[in-house]
Structure 1
Amino acid sequence: MKFTEAKLEQAFIELLENEGFPHCLGNTISRSDDEVLIEEDLKNYLLNRYKKEQLTEIEAQSIILQLKTLSSADLYESNKKIMQWLADGFILKREDRKQKDIHIELIDYSGLDPQRKSNNLDNIVAEQQAKYSKDHNIYKFVNQLEIVGTEKRIPDGIIYINGLPIVVFEFKSAIREEATIHNAFEQLTIRYKRDIPELFKYNAFCIISDGVNNKAGSFFAPYEFYYAWRRVALSAYNAQAEGLAKEVDGIDSMFTLVQGMLNQNRLRDIIQNFIYIPDTSKKDEKIVCRYPQYYAARVLYENIKKAEKQLDGSGGNGKGGTYFGATGSGKSFTMLYLTRLLMKSEYFASPTIVLITDRTDLDDQLSGQFTNAKSFIGDNNVKSVKSRAELRVLLQDRQSGGVFLTTIHKFTQDTELLTERTNVICISDEAHRTQTNLDQKVKVTSKGVKKTFGFAKYLHDSLPNATFVGFTGTPIDATLDVFGKVVDAYTMTESVRDEITVPLVYEGRPVYNAAERLAEAQKHGFKVAIIPKGNTPKKAVKGMKIIPVAYLYQALQYLAENI
């Protein structure tokens, strides 16, 4: 069977119907040709969701009008504002000014972790005078919707939630050599952007697919930042409640994209917590999480809950878990997403977070990113700490809140207590290098015996009831002893598969004078030689074990198993 665009579209329709997105043909939607909202769905959702608050039709219409008023001429800023409203909601000033204001959510997040209401929410002022699922949201997958802007355009598919066009799909056939998913990307970001920009005011992210290659990314991102979603289960290490982890290639990645990223609960979670737009940006940056970042942040969040200590001695052991992230895992964004989850959580009630690195350049990088993410994090007190004394001042008398970035080297032999609070979470980057040395060191000098400890010992003594989380690319035993077990991982193999890391390629070719070289090595006492398979000697070399290999991984595997 030829996998045409029509058949690909039908495959997505069926998969999304299985995830609870009823299919609607574009020509069945009641709307004007230039309208991208399904206003009736949005109005019905608002009136049903806020029935107890007696939201009026005029107030619902005021919200819709406010959304439509945002200009598509400044598409990035309008999308930034709508994404903020989608994630955190806004305050509605009532039509009857005597009535209490309402915190409005454009998407019902019931069933997800409860979150604290953000400070400094926008206000929307009302003018004076379907069938619902359990979370009140109205979900639809609409295909072939004709939209008239400067030109008529017909997106292949759109996921609507409560009448808002949240995800836009563009398909290309894998059997047509002249049509690639890069062409799908160009269709979205060049022609649709030019002709129907209004559609992308409300867009969370886009999906491009030819069936074999299936990628998601921000509408504002370059093509190389569109990625596959290769996992369904919560964790490759701990696949509780969601079945076994799936990490796949090819056409199977279409299933993991739909069942993983577009699962209704996960999609709502991504919209609420995993799309980062900086406070200020000269490059129209909008970062949609990749699957390793999503799952790592979620698993660590749950593990921190279990590990948190209590002053009465109950609770956990303070070991929040270790995340093993190889090159390309995007650890800094994972830390940022985790920080938002912690700071917004009702459970943690506005904790204090200390981010610790072991190098000044890493501290500068994280500081620049986090101090430009105050709105996303939900706390205006995000600060790079220059000294231990400054950190002590910041923590003294503080009962909640604050995100402080520092280096491990500031925890020297000053052991004075910083705080005994339990709602302090320390997130350590490159945790294997300098943040695991808890053991005592004894140095004998002419002046006598001097006892010292590593940086990590002073850190733990200064924050005795904190919960410690480690990010590392090298999870040695000492890392696990301090931070707890590896709760999730992103390997180099996955990084290569996701085209983030360039693969290391080895071609085993025979070398000249191999027999003489082996004899020379044997004279110098070498006992093992790993050689190209084409140089395998016909006779055994006395006193030397010969390991012939055709591929680099075979040599590395031997070394890993025998050294």
Structure 2
Amino acid sequence: MSRIITESDVEQAALDIFEELDYKTLYAPDIAPPPEGTKPERKTYSDVVLVERLAKAIDKLNPSIPKEVKEEAIKKVLRTESPKLIVNNQSFHGMLVNGLDVEHRTKDGRIAGDKVWLFDFEKPERNEFLAANQFTVIENNCNRRPDIVIFVNGLPLAVIELKNPADENATVWTAFSQFETYKNEIPSLFNYNGMLVVSDGMEARAGTITSGKEWFMLWRTIDGKEIKSDIRSKSMEVLLKGMFEKGRFLDIIRHFLVFEKEDNALLKKLAGYHQYYAVNKAMEATIKASSTKGDKRCGVVWHS
């Protein structure tokens, strides 16, 4: 008699995939605030950024920036400037992709402008990728525990909510509804969010903090070469390997998330797999055509 699959099994399967992708994995209660955490990395359960990891990454990526300037950059990242989640999210996204503008005094007394970078987008291996499961957040007396949070350099860039495939009442849309609750009750976690993923171990979909159900999309390819039309049994594996390979994940965060206003509402949009690969293919063709040996012919991508 076969064993019934549980939500914990789905969670472990996802963590195994992240280990395949060379992410570090950890059980989030271990880094919880003291006295609960055996290796605490948070002062309180309201802390959603792993500050020591962020500081270490900023030191590594910005060696010429004075210490006090880097400390001020961290404070800016942690500061919440609006009561609106989407406004905070857009502000952070700008810091992430454009760097933080800073000023510091040089040795000869001049005031110099500079950038503090949170990520190295060109060399993904210089960043730290971490998948932490059962990450408890307490905010406004609400206690919630998302299944898996993906941190890059200590910043919570993705949240994954999983449901039990053996429970016919628990679907990806149950997970979607869970996110609606999380955004209302623990919004601080989503100030930094790039994407949300829902899965029941079979079906898996990705969207953003403003995506409705219709915009939580399947990701049908791991490498862009093979498009899987029927991915029901491997949807989670395809999406996680397809979107979270380190270089691809940073590329999506940097180039394939946009903010647009519709009917006076600010929306965050995530490109689909077909748009992602069409644009990158067109860019490769353009670079090749523009080279000294190229034919100088460039194309236009039209996708909806």
Aligned to 2:69: 59
- 1:310-321 map, 5 Å: 315-321=293-299
Partners of 1:91 and 1:61 in 2: how far apart?
Answer: 13
CA 1:257–1:55 in 2, change beyond 3 Å: closer, same or farther?
farther
Note the C-alpha offset of 1:192: 0.8
Q: 2:220 aligns with which of 230, 249, 254?
A: 230
1:180 aligned to 2:171? yes
Aligned to 1:535: none
Aligned to 2:38: none
Q: 1:105 aligns with which of 106, 114, 117?
A: 117
Deviates more, 1:93-102 or 1:2-11: 93-102
1:153 aligned to 2:163? no
CA 1:36–1:72 in 2, change beyond 3 Å: closer, same or farther?
farther
Note the C-alpha offset of 1:203: 0.2
Q: Secondary structure at the match of 1:140?
A: strand
- 1:408-447 map, 5 Å: none
CA 1:78–1:303 in 2, change beyond 3 Å: closer, same or farther?
same
CA 1:280–1:49 in 2, change beyond 3 Å: closer, same or farther?
farther
Partners of 1:256 and 1:219 in 2: how far apart?
Answer: 22
Q: 1:44 aligns with which of 44, 48, 56?
A: 56
Residues 21 and 139, structure 1, Cα contact 8 Å, conserved in 2: yes
1:81 aligned to 2:91? yes
1:35 aligned to 2:9? no
Q: 2:182 aligns with which of 192, 197, 201?
A: 192
Q: Secondary structure at the match of 2:232?
A: coil
Note the C-alpha offset of 1:54: 4.3
Letter paired with 2:8: A
Residues 88 and 272, structure 1, Cα contact 8 Å, conserved in 2: no
Letter paired with 2:126: H
Q: Secondary structure at the match of 1:176?
A: coil
Give CA-to-partner distance per residue, 1:293-336, whole Å, 9 cap, x none.
Answer: 00000011101112237xxxx5322333576x7xxxxx15xxxx
Q: Say which structure is richer in helix.
A: 2
Letter paired with 2:206: A
Give CA-to-partner distance per residue, 1:150-180, whole Å, 9 cap, x none.
Answer: 2111010100001110000111111111211
Q: Secondary structure at the match of 2:112?
A: coil
Aligned to 1:285: 267
Partners of 1:86 and 1:281 in 2: how far apart?
Answer: 27
Q: 2:8 aligns with which of 6, 9, 29?
A: 6
Partners of 1:72 and 1:146 in 2: how far apart?
Answer: 23
Aligned to 1:208: 198
Q: 2:210 aligns with which of 211, 220, 237?
A: 220
**Equivalent pairs, count:** 289
Q: Secondary structure at the match of 2:96?
A: helix
Q: Secondary structure at the match of 2:295?
A: coil
Note the C-alpha offset of 1:74: 1.2
Residues 166 and 203, structure 1, Cα contact 8 Å, conserved in 2: yes
TM-score (norm 1): 0.49
Deviates more, 1:63-72 or 1:141-150: 63-72
Note the C-alpha offset of 1:99: 5.6
- 1:245-260 map, 5 Å: 246-260=228-242
Partners of 1:281 and 1:19 in 2: how far apart?
Answer: 40
Give CA-to-partner distance per residue, 1:505-551, whole Å, 9 cap, x none.
Answer: xxxxxxxxxxxxxxxxxxxxxxxxxxxxxxxxxxxxxxxxxxxxxxx
- 1:363-402 map, 5 Å: none
Letter paired with 2:160: F
TM-score (norm 2): 0.88
Q: Secondary structure at the match of 2:12?
A: helix
Give CA-to-partner distance per residue, 1:31-62, whole Å, 9 cap, x none.
Answer: 011110000000011111112x0431x32221
Give CA-to-partner distance per residue, 1:247-273, whole Å, 9 cap, x none.
Answer: 541121212111111100000001110
Q: Secondary structure at the match of 1:100?
A: strand
Q: Secondary structure at the match of 2:267?
A: coil
Aligned to 1:136: 126
Residues 207 and 215, structure 1, Cα contact 8 Å, conserved in 2: yes
Note the C-alpha offset of 1:245: 5.2
Note the C-alpha offset of 1:104: 2.0
Identity of counterpart residues, as a percentage?
27
Residues 202 and 235, structure 2, Cα contact 8 Å, conserved in 1: yes
Residues 261 and 267, structure 2, Cα contact 8 Å, conserved in 1: no
- 1:464-483 map, 5 Å: none
Residues 171 and 210, structure 1, Cα contact 8 Å, conserved in 2: yes
Give CA-to-partner distance per residue, 1:92-146, whole Å, 9 cap, x none.
Answer: 11266736332222111124xxxxxxxxxxxxxxxxxxxxxx7431211011111
Letter paired with 1:77: V
CA 1:149–1:72 in 2, change beyond 3 Å: closer, same or farther?
farther
Partners of 2:283 and 2:59 in 1: how far apart?
Answer: 34
Letter paired with 2:195: F
Partners of 2:28 and 2:105 in 1: how far apart?
Answer: 34
Give CA-to-partner distance per residue, 1:56-80, whole Å, 9 cap, x none.
Answer: 1x32221121122224621111101
Give CA-to-partner distance per residue, 1:479-530, whole Å, 9 cap, x none.
Answer: xxxxxxxxxxxxxxxxxxxxxxxxxxxxxxxxxxxxxxxxxxxxxxxxxxxx
Aligned to 1:240: none
1:168 aligned to 2:150? no
User: Any unmatched runs of 5+ in structure 2?
Assistant: 32-40
Q: Secondary structure at the match of 2:264?
A: coil
